[in-house]
Structure 1
Amino acid sequence: MQLKIADFHDIDGIFALHSKYQIDTILEEDKKDGFVTTAFSKEQLSDIIEKEQGIFVAIEEGEIVAYVMSASWQYWSPWPIFAVMMEDLPHLIFQSQTLSVHNSYQYGPVCVDKRVRGSGVLEKLFDFALERMQQKYPILVTFINKINHRSYEAHTRKIGLKVIAEFAFNGNAYYELAFDTSKRVGKGVDNDTTE
């Protein structure tokens, strides 16, 4: 499996995986196994690649099987849910630090194809993205819809994200979570290579 920072050639593969698991387009029977809340267009994917180098992908047999998005709060600010989260940052504390747009970034969405779930790809891709984002930020922040049990379990139990708050937006309830970017969860990650 190859891990890499996405480039423009990866957009179609990312979009195909995203569309398969996005809450508005996911098959109803797959929803119980996790979903992506935020919708993206190909233009928005191109934008995050160009401005932030903020999509990290896992490729198996030439196909994108997982992605992690990570970017500055400034990048995410046009989306209403992220604007609400940004506004609340000064009221949140993680590891004795008050959060801000300067010491934290928004992690996610994250998507792992169901055929590779449980294989360790999430942990490897998480660490790969974390190594790059740690160069700019000491704290990762994200949110998970309370009805997305699979994502909650994967991120709290497997990876170790900590719930720091709860909030409501647009009729949905969310956990807000944080992680210290100096830590790692996986072992033996081979970056930019084939395993």
Structure 2
Amino acid sequence: MAINVRRSLPEDHAAILSLMDSARGVGLSDEERARRGFVQGQLTGELLDRFQEGPGIFVADADGDLAGFAITSEPGSLPPQHPAAAAVAAVTRAADGRDPGRLFLYGPVAVDERFQGRGVLTQLLTALSRALQDDFDLAVAFVETANERSLAVHRHYGMTEAARFEIGERAYVAFTFAPSAFAQGRS
């Protein structure tokens, strides 16, 4: 089965929202969610429209089925109380006065269970890195420390653990990566 990564279209929104809902891990125990991974946040069609106008939403299309998606956005595209804003602030503080360059936010990302283990995430990372490497220096992602699977995935790809931060009672790791490092593809 061939997988094609492309920028999303408005007609992809329903499938993206559906996959996002199924990737939340609702109904699972905290231990099972940590082991299987989960995504957070509430997406709407309006938010997807806004993200689509920014750096973009990238989808992995498997013969008409949505195999996965990766959302990218500009810092400041979400409210200041959102963990994304805290992640950017933590990365900026960790830079200790050095200019981190032009930033974009990476995530949320989800791969349909039917397609996991088939290189879909690698293809998404490679495609979005190729598309964004000329306009951005650094991607910023954040992962709740309770999400063991997502932490392991980010570490597997060699993303830098740039900072840690907390919001309320939740602890997060801010990861960074240079799109130029992924533009040629990694495993």
> Shared fold by TM > 0.5?
yes
- Code of the residue aligned with 2:167 in structure 1: it is F
Q: Can you give the 5+ residue segments of structure 2 that lack an aligned partner in the other structure?
A: none
Q: Which runs of 4+ in 1 moved over 6 A?
A: none
Structure 1 equivalent of residue 85 of structure 2? 83
Q: Does 1:98 align with 2:96?
A: no
The number of residues matched between the two structures is: 180
Q: Distance in 2 between matches of 1:167 and 1:79?
A: 13
Q: Given the superposition, is the C-alpha separation of residues 165 and 75 from structure 1 closer, same or farther in structure 2, using an over 3 Å criterion?
A: same
* Paired residues for 1:115-134 under 5 Å: 115-134=114-133
Alpha-carbon distance between aligned partners in 2 of 1:75 and 1:131, rounded to the nearest angstrom: 22
CA RMSD of aligned residues (A): 2.2
- 1:18-29 correspondence runs (5 A): 18-22=20-24, 26-28=26-28
Q: Which amino acid aligns with 2:130?
A: E
Aligned-pair CA distance for 1:67: 0.5
Cα distance in 2 for residues equivalent to 1:171 and 1:8: 36
- Choose which of 147, 161, 166 in structure 2 pairs with 1:163: 161
Q: Aligned partners of 2:73 and 2:11: how far apart in 1?
A: 19
Asked if the contact 2:83–2:142 (Cα under 8 Å) also holds between the matched residues in 1, the reply is: no
TM-score (norm 1): 0.83
Matches within 5 A, 1:149-160: 149-157=148-156, 159-160=157-158
What is the match of residue 114 of structure 1? 113
Shift of 1:35: 0.6
Q: Deviations for 1:82-131, whole angstroms, at most 9, x for unmatched residues? A: 2323444431229x9433xx521111111011121111110111111111
SS in 2 for 1:163: strand
* Distance of 2:121 and 2:91 partners within structure 1: 26
Match of 1:41 in 2: 44
Partner of 1:73 in structure 2? Answer: 75
Q: CA–CA distance in 2 between the matches of 1:133 and 1:89?
A: 19
**d(CA) in 1 for partners of 2:16, 2:81:** 19
TM-score (ref. length: structure 2): 0.86
Q: Distance between the aligned counterparts of 1:113 and 1:62, measured in 2?
A: 13
On the 8 A contact 1:22/1:39 being kept in 2, the answer is no
Q: Is the 8 A contact 2:140 2:174 kept in 1?
A: yes
Aligned partner of residue 75 in structure 1, secondary structure: coil
What amino acid sits opposite 2:151 in the alignment? Y
Calculate percent identity across the aligned residue pairs: 24
CA contact (8 A) 1:162 1:177 kept: yes
Aligned partner of residue 49 in structure 2, secondary structure: helix
After superposition, what is the alpha-carbon deviation per residue over 1:56-85, rounded to whole angstroms, capped at 9, x for unaligned? Answer: 000113111100011110223455222323
Kept in 1, the 8 Å contact 2:91–2:162? The answer is no
Q: CA 1:180–1:97 in structure 2 vs 1: closer, same or farther (change >3 Å)?
A: farther
User: In 2, are the aligned partners of 1:5 and 1:53 still within 8 Å (CA)?
Assistant: no
